[in-house]
Amino acid sequence: MDHILDLPFEVALVALFAVVMVRVNATYWIGRGAAAGMERTRFARALHCPKASKAQAMIQRFGPYAVVLTFLTIGLQTAVNLAAGAGRMPLSRYLPAAIVGSGIWAFVYATIGLAAIDAWLAVMAASPLAAILLVLSFAGLAVCLVMRRRRRTAVAPEDTVV
């Protein structure tokens, strides 16, 4: 990862764009293959998980715009690209969306992302203990947010007071 930080911005941008294009297109074709009869493979389970169902609904509703928008999210991108392939989104619609989304992702990552990685490496070099505490703090915050969300959704509608 240190090597990409040393690259000129334009070279890093192109390299990141190429990497994400390969990744999203591979995911699309895995989904496409699964829809074409790979139901007995390990990828079939991924097509039936809740995240994939949500992604498929998003694909049906927003089409290529969903593909582009997922490049601004964390965790939904793979599911949507897999769903686009499984839903057999035509390449004439998918590829332009993948190109635009990959360009956005590469630009964001080449600017903000690489700066964050550089800052993280500086924290690690200065104080590994502080870095570990920072990771634990973020993990604790994530756990608290997930638990709060689950508690909120666990309340049945008839339990609420009107």
Q: Output 86 or 159, whichever has higher pLDDT.
A: 86
- Please state, in angstroms and rounded to a whole number, the distance separating the CA atoms of residues 39 and 31: 10
- Whether pTM > 0.75 for this model: the answer is no
Extents of the domains making up the chain: 2-126, 127-162
Amino acid identity, position 65? Y
Sign of the dihedral through C-alpha 14, 74, 135, 116: positive
pLDDT computed for residue 65 by the predictor: 86
Confidence of residue 99 (pLDDT cuts 50, 70, 90): very high
Q: Where are the alpha helices (DSSP H) in 109-127?
A: 114-126
Burial of 121 per CB tally in 10 Å (0-12, 13-18, 19+): middle
Q: Any idea how long the chain is?
A: 162
Percent of the chain with pLDDT over 70: 86
